[in-house]
Amino acid sequence: MKALYDPPKIVKLIFNKFIWNAPKNKILFTFDDGPNTETTPMILKKLSDLHIKAVFFCVGTNLLKFPSLVDEIVSEGHLIGNHTWNHKKVIDFQNNDFQNEIAKFNEYMLQKFNHKVELFRPPHGKINFKFYRNANAHQLKVMMWSLLTYDYKNDLKVVKFALQKYLIHNSIIVMHDSEKSKNVIYDSIEWANDMIIEKNLNIGNPASCLS
């Protein structure tokens, strides 16, 4: 059961150059797949209210659609991570895909928003040895996770169970900045914050935790 929420230790050992748990015994909030007009504004509002900084693993095509939201994410002190240009699974990458999917994203963020992207998360969490070798060769800082909330099921009870059962002192929490989680994302962040307080844990600022 736990492996559905937190990847097994053997996987973390095999792919040990990836970031699986948050450094410095702090909990990190991360949001995949955005930005979009349905959920990004409410996520930013709730994070601001709770004084939480997060990592937004964005999709390149969404950067083009919603540049004002990208500006807002950056201006509010959050980090933007690379989630590929087209939300393409890295296990399907061909020879030119690193340049097309990863470098294109980073170059666009730097040129358009003056934001240097240092983190990458593979869509759907799908990885293999070929990607692991290529990521190391390209010196990618790959951040995975240690607590999948299943917020994309749009059921707050599912999110509550994940947080109650598996939230620990160095969890990297995954939520989704997308329409599939829009009915629960606001309350999910609130609930996660409440659980962190109840368990006497600490939230980290990604920029300082990963420095």
Q: Which of 4, 1, 6 is nearest to 145 (CA)?
A: 6
Q: What is the reported pLDDT for 128?
A: 95
Q: What is the reported pLDDT for 21?
A: 97
H/E element holding 110?
helix 104-113
Cis amide leading into 206 (omega within 30) = no
22-209 folds as: TIM Barrel (3.20.20)
Is residue 4 a contact partner of residue 54, using CB atoms and an 8 Å limit?
A: no
Q: What is the reported pLDDT for 211?
A: 84
- Return phi, psi of residue 201, to 5°: -105, 175
Is residue 82 a contact partner of residue 102, using CB atoms and an 8 Å limit?
A: yes
- Give the span between the Cα atoms of 209 and 31, in whole angstroms: 17
The one-letter code for the residue type at 134 is N
Is residue 51 a contact partner of residue 196, using CB atoms and an 8 Å limit?
A: no
pLDDT in tens, 95-149: 889 889 999 999 999 999 999 999 999 999 999 999 999 898 888 999 999 999 9
- Give the span between the Cα atoms of 136 and 151, in whole angstroms: 30
Give every strand in the sheet of 54-58, ordered side by side.
Answer: 141-142, 119-120, 79-82, 54-58, 28-32, 172-176, 147-148
Which residue is associated with the tokens 């599939």? Answer: 180
Put simply, whether the predicted model's pTM sits higher than 0.85 gets the answer yes
What is the domain partition of the chain in residue ranges?
22-209
From first to last of its 211 residues, the chain has per-residue pLDDT tens of: 898 999 999 999 999 999 999 999 999 999 999 999 999 999 999 999 999 999 999 999 999 999 999 999 999 999 999 999 999 999 999 888 988 999 999 999 999 999 999 999 999 999 999 999 989 888 899 999 999 999 999 999 999 999 999 999 999 999 999 999 999 999 999 999 999 999 999 999 999 999 8
